[in-house]
Amino acid sequence: MSTPEERSEELHPLADIDQVIHAPARLMVVTYLYVVESADFVFLMRLTGLTWGNLSSHLGKLEKEGYIEIQKEFVGKKPHTMIRLTDRGRAAFREYKRRMQQVLGELPE
Amino acid sequence: MTTNMGLKEAGRRVLHLTFQDGLWDIFIGWLMLFGGIRSLTDNPWFSLAALGSVLLYMGGKLLITAPRLGRVKFGPALRARIGVARLVIAIAVLGTVFLLALVLSGQRPSAKVAGPLMVLGTTAVFLLIAYVWDFRRLYVYGLLMGISMTLEETVGDPIGAIVQCVFGGIALLVGLVVLVRFLHDYPTPVEGSPAEEAGDVNP
């Protein structure tokens, strides 16, 4: 016998989709960060094709959620910012992937 | 599109972005061109010029690519792919050193064995790296290298060397075109731009 939570999940799998990750631009950022250890702002900008303002805003949301970590390091004497997915962010992405596969897998052909 | 396909594609795009500067093409083209000229002229200085391709590649990555593309530390899967390519290169270098050591010690390996071994080895190295990195132009360069080396072994110089120069020139030209496109598509973030102010523009 399934619990009410499980029944709710079965009935409304889309309702529990992580909206922070689900936005197309953020999904793109998180997907790329998932396959690398870390990347700087310029690399992410080149990879995603997002403008500085757009990327900055999405990174802000992901950081607020604790999904990414912004690390300051030095390249020579210049400060340099590297961005990486946190363990929480990786787990959230895996969960998002699982739920989306579940939702899409259950759709009729 | 499943998420797994998406992740594979993301990894491929990350790797491909780093090949868009044309430096690999220039490196191979330069190496083949000056290797060919060395065979034609028998002047050892051209061997040094051919080895200059390594400096050209490293300098280009540092001074041209990094400021425009930014920096990335690859994840375990991409690091493993790069590791396989490095292993292949290391085995090829060791094989070459071994053959060189045989020649220097007076134990010249039979030309019938050493020649085809070098041709097959070099071509296999290029094709294997092309496969591991999913870098399609490298397949073509591997085949061009194989053809020119086979000609050098069978027909001999100057035809083999001339063909090597022509193929090297083609690769160099392709590399320069790709580099010009890269410089156009990816300008250096200018001083005072938001990315620069954020401390993300590399020196």
Asked which of A57-61, B19-23, B76-80, B159-163 is least confident by mean pLDDT, the reply is: B76-80
Note whether residue A62 is domain-resident.
yes
Q: Which of A32, A39, A42 comes nearest B195 by C-beta?
A: A42
For residues A79-108, give the mean pLDDT: 86
The number of domains in chain B is 1
CB of A31 within 8 A of CB of B10? Answer: yes
The number of domains in chain A is 1
Note whether residue B50 is domain-resident.
yes
Mean pLDDT across chain A, nearest whole number?
A: 83
Q: Do A101 and B2 touch (CB under 8 A)?
A: yes
Note whether residue B169 is domain-resident.
yes
Q: What are the tens digits of pLDDT across the range A63-84? A: 999 999 988 877 777 777 899 9
**Which structural domain range is residue A73 located in?**
19-103
Q: List alpha helices for chain B, DSSP H.
A: 3-17, 23-41, 45-60, 66-69, 76-104, 111-133, 136-154, 159-185, 194-197
Q: What are the tens digits of pLDDT across the range A14-35? A: 677 888 898 999 999 999 999 8
CA dist B33 and B164 (Å) reads 6
Three-class DSSP category at A50:
coil
Chain A residue with the nearest C-alpha to that of B2 = A101
CATH code of residue A35: 1.10.10.10
The DSSP call for residue B109 is P
Note whether residue A72 is domain-resident.
yes
Note whether residue A6 is domain-resident.
no
Q: Which of B2, B70, B186 comes nearest A40 by C-beta?
A: B70
CA B31 to each of CA B60, B152, B173, B180: distance values in angstroms, whole numbers, following the listed order: 15, 16, 13, 20
What pLDDT was estimated at residue A84?
93
Note whether residue A63 is domain-resident.
yes
Note whether residue B110 is domain-resident.
yes
Is pLDDT of B123 > 90? no
- Structure confidence at residue B202 as a pLDDT band (50, 70, 90): very low
- Candidates B29, B100, B91, B34; CA nearest to B60 is B29
**Which structural domain range is residue B45 located in?**
11-188
Q: Which of B3, B13, B195 comes nearest A101 by C-beta?
A: B3
Q: Which of B10, B73, B193 comes nearest A38 by C-beta?
A: B73
Q: What are the tens digits of pLDDT across the range B149-183? A: 888 878 877 888 899 899 999 999 999 999 999 99
Q: Do A45 and B186 touch (CB under 8 A)?
A: no
Note whether residue B34 is domain-resident.
yes
Note whether residue A27 is domain-resident.
yes
Residues of A in contact with B11 (CB under 8 A): 35
Note whether residue A89 is domain-resident.
yes
DSSP of B165-183, one letter per residue? HHHHHHHHHHHHHHHHHHH
Mutate to test the interface with A, among B2, B3, B17, B182 (most CBs of A within 10 A): B3
Mean pLDDT across chain B, nearest whole number?
A: 81
ipTM summary value: 0.74
Note whether residue B202 is domain-resident.
no
Min Cα separation B197/chain A (Å): 10
Is pLDDT of B115 > 80? no
What pLDDT was estimated at residue A9?
55
Region of residue A82 (phi > 0: left; psi between -120 and 50: alpha; otherwise: beta): beta
Note whether residue B193 is domain-resident.
no
